[in-house]
A = this chain, B = another copy of it.
């Protein structure tokens, strides 16, 4: 097994979020290190937040453990407990099923990076703490609903 060649790995942008939420994470990009290394049992991504960038909407996972280590720059972690500044080497863990949403914001003027590890449940539900929105992911398909289970219909744009 060779060292993973980060410089040659594709940089993924975009989001599975429906409009208008997709615009929130425009400053986020990531590289899929675990996939690149042939791992199948958990995911490992290296996420870059541009200045002002947001990692995700604040959310918690029903079935999947998640772990984060900041590797570069400074991020602000937001949870129910409030805000925590995090720098290189700082870590946080988010056990499956604990309904305390989290996300990371880059409020600095230079890029920030973190490594994120997540298990791969066959069926996952993520709940967005600050919106009337949740997503169920099963067999590679993401379905967004309101918290009462009714479908989320994205507003029509100007197309």
Contacting pair A4 B89 (CB below 8 A): no
| CA gap between A65 and B69 in the complex, in Å | 19
Contacting pair B40 A93 (CB below 8 A): no
Residues from chain B with a CB closer than 8 A to the CB of A38 are 93, 95, 98
| CA gap between A77 and B2 in the complex, in Å | 9
Q: A44-B117, A117-B44 known; A67 and B3 CB under 8 Å? A: no
Copies of this chain present: 2
Residues from chain B with a CB closer than 8 A to the CB of A36 are 93
Query: For chain A, which range describes its interface: under 10, 10 to 19, 20 to 34, or 35 or more residues?
Result: 35 or more
Contacting pair B42 A81 (CB below 8 A): no
Q: How far is the CB of A2 from chain B (nearest CB, A)?
A: 7
Interface assignment of A39: CB less than 8 Å from any CB of chain B:
yes
**Contact mask A51-84 → B, CB, 8 Å, 1/0?**
0000000000000110101011000010101001
